[in-house]
Structure 1
Amino acid sequence: MAVPIIPVLALSAVMLGAVYKYIIHPLFFSPLRRIPAAHLSVPFSPLWILWIRQQGRQNRTILAAHERLGPVVRLGPREVSVNCVRGGLSTVYTGGMEKGEWYSNLFYNYGLPNMFSTNASKPHSTRKRMISNTYSKSNINSSAVLTAQTSIILYERFLPQLFKTFSAQLTETASVLNIYALISAVTMDIVTGYIFGLSASSNLTSNTASCSHFLDLYNGRRSYNFWPQELPGVTRWARKLGIRLVPEFVDAANDEIEAWALSMCDKAAIALEQSSEEKKAGENPISLADTPVVYGQLASALVKESQKEVQKDLNGDPNHPDVAGECQKSLRLTISSELLDHLAAGFDTSGITLTYLVHELSQRRELQSALRAELLTLSPPLLPSSAPVIPDAKALDVLPLLHAILWETLRLHPAIPGPQPRVTPAGGCSLGPDPGFWVPGAVRVSASAGCLHANESVFKKAGSWKPERWLEVDGESRKEMDRWFWAFGSGGRMCVGSNLAIYQMKYIVAAIYSNFATSIVDDSGIEQEDAYTAPPKSDKLMIQLERV
C-alpha cells in the first residue's frame, strides 16, 4: 500500500523546521552563539536555568559561571547575565532598558501594578515624580515629621524591648533575643510610620505576637515564588487541572497582608480628612508624628491626575462635591498597591541587612567598642537619658566607622543578591567590555549585586567582611568600589527608598550599640537563602545583650 506523499512531506517539513529552529540556528546563526554558555543545553532550552532556580541554587550558580567564563554569560536561549559596569550596568540599567513580565508576574498587589512592577519606563517615571521628593536625602535628613516618629519608636518601643530582654537575662540565663525578628519589627514601624503616620501605622516592636504572626505570613511565602514568577502559564493551567503548585496558605497570607496594608491606608485617609476639617474649624491640625507623609503626597498627586477623568462623568464641573470623593474611591487600591510595595521592601531589606551587621559585629568586641566610642560623640548620644531628643540625622550620617560597617554589610550580605532582569531594546545592543557581544532585542538580561560585590579585582578578599576597606581606600580605587557597589541598584529605577533605608539602619545601629554589646548565642541557619531576596535560612539570630 502506497504511503500518502503529502502528509509525509508535511511531517518532514515540520521536523526539518524544528531541527533548524532548535539546533542549527542556535548553534550556527544566533547572535547569542558567541556568548559563553553556562551549560551545554543553554543554546537549545531554558530547562537548565529553570531547574537551577527551582532548586534554590541560582545565585551561586550564576556567580560560578561568571568566575569561570567572564563578564557576559548566556543562561538560556534568550537570556544573558552580565557582571560588569562598562557594557553591563551602564548599558542595561543606566541606559534605561525596560522591565519584563518577570516583575508583573509576582509583584502586583490586589492585581494592580505599582512603581516597582510597572514594566515600561514612562509610567514608572510618572509615578516616581509624584513621591521621589519625600524620599530624597535632604528631605529625609531634615524632616521634622520623621524625627518625631523616630524618637517615639526608638525611645518608647525599641530601647524598652532591648532593656526588657537585658533585665530578663539577669535573672534567666536562658533569656535570649531573636534580633532578626525585633529588627524586622522596628524597621516596619519606621517605614509605615513615615508612609501612613504613626497613629495609622504598625506597632510590631511592642507587640511581639503580632510581629511573629506577620513574619510567619510574610516569610512563609518565599519558597513558592518560582512557579508564578518564572512559569505563570504552567501555574495557571495546573490550577485549572486541580493541581496547586502554590499552596492555598500562600494565597491566604497574601490576602491578609493586603488587607492589613489597606487598613493602614484607610486610617491615613481618615486622619487627613479629620485634619482638614479641624483646620477649617480653627482647631489644632494633625500632630507631627501622625502625619502620613508619603500617603498624603501620593494620594494628592493621584487624585489630581485622575480628576479630569472623573469630571467627565460629572458634567465637567471641577467644583462638583463628588469629584474628590470619587477620585479617592477609585484610587484606593492603586494607592495601597504602591504603598504595600514600599513597606514590604522597606522593612524586609533593612531587617535582613541589620541582622547580618549584628552577626558580624557580635564576633568582634573591639570593633563594637570602637563603634560605641564614635556613637557617643553625637550630641546628644542615643541613650534613654537623652529622650525625647535624638541625634541629628546629618551628624549621624557622616560618622565614618558606622558608614563603613553598614556599607560593608550591604556589600557582603546584600538583602537582594539575585538578578534584576531587564529586556533588551528592539534594535538590540552590545553587552560587555569592548568589543562586547551583540545581543538582539527581546532578550532577558540581568546583573546581580551578589555577583558584582564578589569581584576580587575590585574588592580585595571579597568573601571577607572588612569594613576597613571603606576607610582605607580612596582615590580611583574608592571610585571603582563605588561604581561596583549595587546594593540599591542604579539608573532611573534604582531603589526609591534607599535614603530612608540608610537613615533607619543607622539610627537602629546607634540605638543598639550606644547602649549594649552583643554576643551570639545561636547562629545556626544564619546562611543567606539563595534567592532573589535572601534572609537567613532560619529566620533567626539569637543574641545576648550586655549593658555598657
Structure 2
Amino acid sequence: MAYLTPIAVIFSVYVIYKYLVYPIFVSPLSKIPNAHFSSCFSSLWILWKRYKEEENKTIHAAHSKHGNIVRLGPNEVSIACVDEGIRTVYSGGFEKWSWYPNQFNNYGVPNMFSMVDSKPHSIRKRMISNVYSKSYLQSSPELHQISKTMIFSRLLSLLQEASTKRQALDVLELNFSSTMDFIIAFIFGLQNSTNFLQDIPSRKHWLSIYQSRRPYRFWDGELPGVASFLKKLGIHIVPAWVADASRELEAWTLEKCTAAASSIPPSSKESPSPIHPSPTATEPIVYTQLHTPLALSTPPPPTPSLLPFLIATELHDHLAAGHETSGITLTYLMHELSLRPSLQSALRTELLTLSPPLTYPPPQSPTHDHDHIDIPTPRSIDSLPLLHACLTETLRLHAAIPGPQPRITPSTPTSLAGSPPLPAGVRVSAQAYTLHRNAAVFPEPEKWKPERWLNAGEEKEREMGRWFWTFGSGGRMCVGRHFAVQEMKLIVAAIYTNFTTHIVDDEGIEQVDAYTAGPRGNKLVLSFEHVE
C-alpha cells in the first residue's frame, strides 16, 4: 500500500496547482481585478448573486470600483467599455456561451437566439431579416392593417371605456397584451392572432403560465447538470410542473403554426408580398418567410418531421421576447410620463401634428366602423423628436434586458480592456445596465432625462449611440428591434394623443435585478383621463 502515498501526493499537488495556484497566480486572468476576493478560485459567489437576482447591480458596483474589466470567477470576466470591449467581443469571433441553449431552446431545438455558433445563426437570420427591416415594416400593408385594428378596434376603445367608467388599469398586463397581439398577428396573421386586450381569461391564463417558470430559470441556465443529478436522486429542485408549463406553451405555438400554414395564399408560397390585406385577415408574414427556406434548406432537416419544430422554435422565441421586452419598456415609459403632467402635454402637442391624427373616437365613416379610418405613416411617427427621445431614454435607463450577454473567448488569445491576452474558453460578458450608466457619456445616469437626446449635438449623440446597448450589437443584434420601436411608438402616440395618465399604484415599480427586468411588484396601476 506504500505506493499509494506518492500517487496521493502527486494528485494532491495537481489539484492544488489547478484549482488554487494556477487561477490565483499563473492564469492570465490573475492580472484582472477580482470582483470578490473568492472570484479567482471559485464561481460560488457570482452564482449566488445570480440565484438571488442581485447580479446586475453587483457587477456594476465592481466595475465602478475596479474599472472596465473585472474577474467574476476563475474562468469568467465582465467588460464595461466599447473599444477593446463590446466591439471586440460582439462583432465577431466570440461565440455564445452554452447558457443560451440551456435557457432558450424550445422543443429541444435551437433557434436563432439560442444558437451557439455564428454560422447557423447567420443562415437563419438571412431567412427572415428582410421582413424585420425598417424599410419593410414601414411600408408593409399587412402591418398597417394590423396596426389599425389593434389601435382603434381594441386598445383605444378599451381605454375609452376605462376612462368613462373611471376604472384604473394594470398597464403592465395591458402592455403585455398589446405587444403580444401585435407580434402574433405579424407572425401568424391577424386572423390567427391572440386578442389578449379583450379576452381577459385567455390573457391571464397564458401570462400566468409564462411568468410562473421564471424563478427556476437559474438552474437551466447556470447549473443544468446539478439539477439533473438531483432529479436522479429524487430531489426535484425544478418542479415537474415547470416542464409541463413549457410544454403547454410550446403546444400552443404549434397550434398557431398549423393555423398559419392554412392561411398562406398560393401566390405567397415563395415570398410574402401582400397587396390588399383584408380588414380581418392578413398573411402570416414571418411564418411564410421562414417556412419555404427551411423546407428547402441545404442540408435539409434530418427528418421531415423535424421541420415543424424548426419553425416553431424560432417563432416561439419571437413571440416570447417580442411581447415581454416591449411590454416592460412601455410600462416604464408610461410611469415616467405619469410623473410629469407637463411633459405629457408637450408630447400631446407634438402628436397632434400627425396627419391624420390618432384622435379617438375617430370621425365616423359612412359605415360607422373603423375599417376605413387611417393612421399616420410609421415614418411620420418615427420622425417625432420628443416621442423618440422619451422612448430612447426609457430604453436606456429601464432596459428590459439589462443583464449580461455571455460569450466565450476564441482560440486566438485576445486582450480585452487592457488585459493580458485571454486564452480560449473564458466566459466573457457585457451588460446594458453598466454601459448605460457611464456618467462620462450619460451625465446623471440614474435620472430619466429625455432632453439628453434632444439637446445633444451630432458628436455627443454619436457617442451616446456607441454606448446605447439595449438591442445589443454586431451580427447578433436583436432582429426585431425595428418592429419593437415602430410598435411602441405607435402605441404611445395613440394613448397620449387621447389621454392623460395618473398613477394609482406604483408600489414595486423598481426593476428586478435579473437578465429580464420587469417591475418587482409585477404591476403598474394607472388611471386614464380622456382629453377633449
User: Which TM bucket (shorter chain)?
Assistant: over 0.9
How many residues end up aligned between the 2 structures?
A: 516
Given that 2:148 and 2:375 are in contact with CA atoms closer than 8 Å, whether structure 1 keeps it comes out as yes
* Contact 1:96/1:491, CA 8 A, preserved across alignment: no
Render the CA deviation track for 1:248-286: whole Å, top value 9, x for unaligned: 222122111111111111100011167879xxxxxx997
- Equivalent of 1:429 in 414, 439, 454: 414
> 1:245-284 alignment to 2 at 5 Å?
245-272=237-264
Within the candidate set 387, 394, 407, 1:409 is matched to 394
Corresponding residue of 1:68: 65
Alignment equivalent of 2:43, drawn from 26, 46, 65: 46
- Residue 304 of structure 1: CA displacement? 1.7
Q: AA paired with 1:493?
A: R
Aligned-pair CA distance for 1:475:
2.7
Q: Distance in 2 between matches of 1:20 and 1:96?
A: 30
Correspondence 1:187 to 2:179: yes
- Sort the Cα spacing of 1:225 and 1:276 in 2 relative to 1 into closer, same or farther, 3 A: closer
Amino acid corresponding to residue 345 of structure 1 in structure 2: A
The aligned counterpart of 1:155 is 152
Counterpart CA distance in 2 for 1:46 and 1:119 is 22
Trace 1:332-481 onto structure 2 (pairs within 5 A): 332-384=308-360, 385=362, 387=370, 388-432=373-417, 435-481=418-464
CA contact (8 A) 2:31 2:419 kept: no
Counterpart CA distance in 2 for 1:389 and 1:132 is 27
Using the alignment, how far apart are the partners of 1:138 and 1:49 within structure 2?
42
Deviations 1:501-522 (A, max 9, x none): 0010000001110000001000
1:307 Cα deviation (Å)?
A: 8.6
Q: Distance in 2 between matches of 1:61 and 1:197?
A: 43
| 2-structure distance, mates of 1:252, 1:164 | 37
Match of 2:492 in 1: 509
Contact 1:83–1:448 (CA<8 Å) still a contact in 2?
A: yes
3-state SS of 2:115 partner: coil
Q: Residue in 2 aligned with 1:318? A: none
* Residues 192, 202 of structure 1: 8 Å contact kept: yes
Which letter maps to 1:339? L
Matched, 1:103 2:100: yes
After TM superposition, the structure 1 stretch with the greater mean CA deviation from structure 2, 358-367 or 329-338, is: 329-338
Residues 1:413 and 1:308: Cα distance change in structure 2 (over 3 Å): closer
Structure 1 range deviating more: 122-131 or 46-55: 46-55
1:298 maps onto 2:290 in alignment: yes
Between the aligned partners of 1:220 and 1:308, the Cα distance in structure 2 is 36
Work out whether residues 412 and 465 of structure 1, in 8 Å CA contact, stay in contact via their aligned partners in 2: yes
**Equivalent residue, structure 2, for 1:523:** 506
Equivalent residues of 1:275, 1:285 under 8 A apart:
no
Tell whether the 8 Å contact from 1:275 to 1:286 is kept in structure 2 after alignment.
no
Cα distance in 2, alignment partners of residues 489 and 251 from structure 1: 29
User: How far apart are the structure 2 equivalents of 1:445 and 1:89?
Assistant: 10
Structure 2 counterpart of 1:375, one-letter code: L
Question: Post-superposition shift, 1:247?
Answer: 1.8
Distance in 1 separating the partners of 2:18 and 2:37: 17
Structure 1: give runs of 5+ residues left out of the alignment: 170-174, 278-283, 311-325
Deviations 1:261-320 (CA, angstroms, capped at 9, x unpaired): 11111100011167879xxxxxx997374211110010011112169679xxxxxxxxxx
Tell me which amino acid in the other structure corresponds to 2:103. Answer: L
Secondary structure (helix, strand or coil) at the match of 2:264 reads: helix
CA contact (8 A) 2:219 2:227 kept: yes
SS at match of 1:134: helix
Of 246-255 and 267-276, deviating more is: 267-276
Residue 226 of structure 2 corresponds to which residue in structure 1?
A: 234
The question of whether the paired residues in 2 share the 8 Å contact of 1:357 and 1:409 is answered with: yes
- Residue 244 (structure 1) shift: 1.1
d(CA) in 2 for partners of 1:307 and 1:61? 45
**What SS does the corresponding residue of 2:77 show, helix, strand or coil?**
strand
Could you list the per-position Cα deviations for residues 377-425 of structure 1 after superposition, in whole angstroms to 9, with x for gaps in the alignment? Answer: 0001112316521111000001000000000000000000000000000
- Aligned partners of 2:93, 2:62: CA distance in 1, in Å? 26
Structure 2: 5+ residue runs without aligned partners? Answer: 270-274, 364-369
Residue in structure 1 matched with residue 278 of structure 2 by the alignment: 287
Q: 1:15 to 1:276 in 2, by over 3 A?
A: closer
Q: Deviations over 1:490-545 (max 9, x none)?
A: 00000000000001000000111000000100001111111100011121100001
Alignment of 1:27-42 (within 5 A): 27-42=24-39
For the residue of structure 2 that corresponds to 1:543, the secondary structure is strand
Q: Which moved more, 1:415-424 or 1:530-539?
A: 530-539
- Which residue identity is paired with 1:506? K
Q: Which residue of 1 aligns with 2:202?
A: 210
Q: CA–CA distance in 2 between the matches of 1:135 and 1:238? A: 42
**Whole-Å Cα distance in 2 between the matches of residues 271 and 33 of structure 1?**
58
By how many angstroms is 1:23 displaced? 1.5
Query: Is residue 94–residue 410 contact of structure 2 (8 Å, CA) maintained in 1?
Result: yes
Q: Secondary structure at the match of 2:504?
A: strand
Q: TM-score, normalised by structure 1?
A: 0.92
Q: Which residue of 2 aligns with 1:317?
A: none
Give 1:134's aligned residue.
131
2:56 to 54, 59, 80: 59
User: Hey, what's the Cα distance between the residues in 1 that align with 2:16 and 2:82?
Assistant: 37
| 1:96–1:492 contact (8 Å) kept in structure 2 | no
Who is 2:272 aligned against?
none
Shift of 1:246: 1.2
Q: Give the letter aligned to residue 337 of structure 1.
A: T
- Paired with 1:330 and 1:86, the residues of 2 have a C-alpha distance of 42
Alignment deviations for residues 27-78 of structure 1 (CA, whole Å, 9 cap, x no partner):
2210110000001111111111111111111011000000000000000010
Contact 2:268 2:288 in 1 (8 A): no
Q: Contact 2:339–2:502 at 8 Å: present in 1 too?
A: yes
Please report the RMSD computed on the Cα atoms of aligned residues, expressed in angstroms: 1.7
User: TM-score normalised to the size of structure 2?
Assistant: 0.94
Aligned mates of 1:10, 1:158 — CA distance in 2: 73
- 1:225 alignment partner, SS class: helix
The equivalent of 1:546 in structure 2 is 529
* C-alpha separation in 2, matches of 1:144 and 1:402: 24
